[in-house]
Amino acid sequence: MAVGGDGCFLIDASGKRYFDGSGGAAVSCLGHSNERVVAAIKAQVERLAFAHTGFFTSEPAEALADLLIAHAPGDLDRVFFVSGGSEAVESAIKLARQYHLERGEGQRRHLIARKQSYHGNTLGALSAGGNAWRRAQFAPLLTEMSHIDACYEYAERREGESLETYGQRTADALETEILRLGPETVMAFIAEPVVGATLGAVPAAPGYFARIREICDKYGVLLILDEVMCGMGRTGHLFACEAEGIAPDILCIAKGLGAGYQPIGAMLCSKAIYDAIAGGSGFFQHGHTYLGHPVAAAAGLAVLQELLDRDLVAQVQARGAYFETALRARFAQHPHVGDIRGRGLFWGIEFVAERDGKTPFDPALGVAGKLKKAAFDEGLVCYPMAGTRDGRQGDHVLLAPPFIASEAELDGALDALGRAVDRVLASV
């Protein structure tokens, strides 16, 4: 049982301290005892705990929306607050559908997503995600959606193919799928700029997202980027898509927005989408009771102010560079480490039985689960992901330490992970 939080550490009921090396799953970007965020929550709950958005907006929700828009890429211009990542993705899918309906293009109903992806656990978001393990037992309830390959260079780039050519080839699969479905029937494409919960911090090849943006524009298909995990500074940019030089039509964020202090997510959309609905039926036909919850918004506002006032995104770049060097020094030569990838303070290590052939461990060995347990024993929380049964993808762990972690704390985490890795891999 977790009973306390202290900076980058979690404390259990026995008093044992754990370095929070993954922030759950990239949630706790400010660590666990941020006074400014705690004070903002207390002040808001004393002033106004709740007012339904069917009647009111609130000061913290307005201020947070303004601040997000002031820093958002492209022409993202409106914000819709929800309680988490799945709700943000559901909202995005429904907004895309309603946008086309309002413009008289009701035949646009297909959403294209990627095979190696996770967009949430509610049925719409789970339908969009391509994570086979998460989908398996719910498949009969899921909506049919198209899935193209994600940009996963380590496993899928061909011998002798340049990274750029691989990126273009993989992006072109979107055009092929749009043409197969009929361009007039496709409403949107959804992707994570850096794949989180399915692959473990895999950025796209250079030029991939620029080509994706081009293809979406060519066919009037909306581009939805899911930055629920990789957004809010995690990759060393406030929004991960900044590194790709593109902006989406709809952007989903969550985890790092509330930093774990409150459950909050958001969907941002362009003015064109907002105007199509405002000038049409005038009403986005979607909502939940806790939309724009004032206390959650107060937490989100304080988190974003902390990121901006303390220049923590620049700190992510600096600490991220340090972390990458230390990570590679410790693990790159390891005979069972196939790949180390990531950006900022968002890193994945993929383990393989055999490096040259990139052969994954037999999933029955449960390497990722064993790593989670061994790291936990060493006082480190890291997020494990089991390899898939199609034999292409190895077990991996995701590291997403708090932005406030010192170099010494990051070193300590890697030492603990190193001991856990040595112990588990010797045993399998």
DSSP states along 205-269: PTTHHHHHHHHHHHHTPEEEEE-TTTTTTTTSSSSGGGGGT---SEEEE-HHHHTTTS--EEEEE
User: 28, 34, 58, 86: which one contacts ligand PMP (CB under 6 A)?
Assistant: 86
Q: State which residue, 111 or 421, has the beta carbon closest to ligand PMP.
A: 111
Residues 6+ apart with CB under 8 A from 295: 41, 44, 45, 49, 50, 262
Query: 84 or 360, CB closer to ligand PMP?
Result: 84
Considering only 90, 102, 175, 226, the residue that binds ligand PMP (CB under 6 A) is 226
Residue 338's H or E segment, with its range, is strand 337-343
Least distance in angstroms from the C-beta of 125 to ligand PMP = 6
Task: Pick out residues in 165-194 that bind ligand PMP (CB under 6 A).
Answer: 192
Q: Which stretch binds ligand PMP (CB under 6 A): 62-70, 152-160, 162-170, 225-233?
A: 225-233
CA distances from 304 to 10, 18, 244, 259, 356 (A): 22, 26, 22, 9, 44
* C-beta closer to ligand PMP: residue 197 or 205: 197
Closest approach, Cβ 70 to ligand PMP, in A, equals 24
Applying CB under 6 A, does 91 fall inside the site for ligand PMP? no
Q: What's the one-letter identity of residue 159?
A: E
Q: Does 25 bind ligand PMP (CB under 6 A)?
A: yes
Check binding of 150 to ligand PMP (CB under 6 A): no
Choose which of 84, 130, 256, 292 interacts with ligand PMP (CB under 6 A).
Answer: 84
- Pull the structure tokens for residue 153: 């260079």
Closest residue by Cα to residue 374 from 334, 328, 416: 416
Nearer to ligand PMP, 131 or 170 (CB): 131
Measured from the CB of residue 380, what is the shortest distance to ligand PMP in angstroms? 20
Residue 229 contacts ligand PMP per CB under 6 A: yes
Nearer to ligand PMP, 84 or 412 (CB): 84
Q: Least distance to ligand PMP from the beta carbon of 43, Å? A: 25
Task: In angstroms, give the least distance from the CB of 73 to ligand PMP.
Answer: 17
| Burial (CB count <10 Å: 0-12, 13-18, 19+), residue 348 | buried
Q: Which residue is nearest to ligand PMP (CB)?
A: 85
Distance CA 400, CA 25 (A): 7
Does position 225 bind ligand PMP by CB under 6 A? no
Min dist CB 336 to ligand PMP, Å, is: 26
197 is a site residue for ligand PMP (CB under 6 A): yes
How far apart (Å, rounded) are the C-alpha atoms in residues 282 and 279? 6
The candidate with the shortest Cα–Cα distance to 112, out of 86, 84, 138, 149, is 149
Q: Which is nearer to ligand PMP, 119 or 293 (CB)?
A: 119
Tell me the closest approach of the beta carbon of residue 201 to ligand PMP, in angstroms. Answer: 11
Q: How far is the CB of 25 from ligand PMP (least distance, A)?
A: 5
Distance CA 405, CA 157 (A): 34
Quickly count helices (H) and strands (E) in the chain. Answer: 15, 17
Q: Which of 110, 114, 119, 319 binds ligand PMP (CB under 6 A)?
A: 119
> Which residue(s) pair with 270 in the sheet?
76
Phi and psi angles of residue 270, each rounded to the nearest 5 degrees, phi first: -75, 160
Tokens of 402: 């708090």
Per-residue interface string for the shown chain with ligand PMP, residues 234-273, x marking contact by CB under 6 A:
--------------------x-------------------
Q: Least distance (Å) from ligand PMP to the CB of residue 229?
A: 4
Closest CA to 237 of 181, 312, 303, 299: 312
Count of residues interacting with ligand PMP (CB under 6 A): 15
Query: Is 345:237 a contact under the CB 8 Å cutoff?
Result: no
Site of tokens 């297909």: 110
- Member of 21, 85, 200, 384 binding ligand PMP (CB under 6 A): 85
Judged by CB under 6 A, does residue 348 bind ligand PMP? no
Q: Cα separations (Å) of 93 from 24, 89, 90, 188, 249?
A: 26, 6, 5, 8, 12
18 binds ligand PMP (CB under 6 A): no
Nearer CB in complex with ligand PMP: 152/361: 152
Count other Cβ atoms within 10 Å, centred on residue 2.
12
User: Does 196 contact ligand PMP by CB under 6 A?
Assistant: yes
Give the binding site for ligand PMP (CB under 6 A): 25, 84-86, 89, 118-120, 192, 196-197, 226, 228-229, 254
